Amino acid sequence: MTLPDGVERRDFGDESALATRGEPAYGEPVVDGWRRWDAHRSKLGATLELGVDTGLAGGDSVLYLGAANGTTVSHVADFAGPTYAVEFAPRPVRDLLDVAEARTNLFPLLKDARKPETYAHVVESELDAIVQDVATRGQADVALANRQFLADDGRFVGAVKARSEDVTRDPGDVFEDVLDRLRDGYEVLATERLEPYHEDHLAVVATPK
């Protein structure tokens, strides 16, 4: 398993789990300053748990799309450098602001990930990574629209939710369509279904063309 610097496997009682060092954010278990990163609550956590080489590294500059309440992005900010967290819904952003209080490198943005022009003046260019977890139709389009922020050797690490694209079609067919669209601007390096942690989700690692 290839983990970013700052992410380790630690023991929590009788169980071993991924963890990052930082202030607790959502009631997760903490042992000796290490916060449990529950793969059942985090698509990125599941991606790492399944051994996918994401290419993420400690100190990376990150644009996180679909930050919600901050569960996953809090762990990302624990090991990364500047972390820009985009979330569209005002209610989760209130929780995200609380998470950011203990993390000076975490910058919440109440914005729509489908409209990167609305935050392009805030987010630095040549980022090391984009992490995406948006529950919307057109997930590949979101990734392509935000590709402008990535360095040439940067990484896109996303979780494609089949049911957000089309609840009536076979998830495998949906994933193929999303990957085909994604290849308009990215080279896909790895994919992995996220079962048993998340049903009908596909992890994708890519780099810009």
Question: Does 79 belong to an annotated binding site?
Answer: no
Distances, alpha carbon 157 to alpha carbons 91, 112, 117, 128, in Å = 25, 18, 21, 11
Residue 71 is labelled as binding a ligand: yes
Stated as kind and residue range, the H or E segment containing 73 is helix 71-79
Both tokens of residue 90? 């005002």
Residuewise pLDDT in 10s, the chain (209 residues): 689 999 999 999 999 999 999 999 999 999 999 999 999 999 999 999 999 999 999 999 999 999 999 999 999 999 999 999 999 999 999 999 999 999 999 999 999 999 999 999 999 899 999 999 999 999 999 999 999 999 999 999 999 999 999 999 999 999 999 999 999 999 999 999 999 999 999 999 999 99
Domains and CATH numbers, the chain: 50-208 (3.40.50.150)
- Would the annotation count 136 as a binding residue? yes
**Is 206 annotated as contributing to ligand binding?**
no
Is residue 127 within 8 Å of residue 104, measured between CB atoms? Answer: no
Task: Please name the residue that has the structure tokens 């996180």.
Answer: 64
Are 20 and 34 a contacting pair, CB within 8 Å?
yes
Instruction: Answer yes or no: is 135 a known binding residue.
Output: yes
Please indicate if the annotation marks 133 as binding a ligand: yes
If one counts every other C-beta atom within 10 angstroms of the C-beta of residue 113, the result is 26
Instruction: Establish whether 134 is an annotated binding residue.
Output: yes
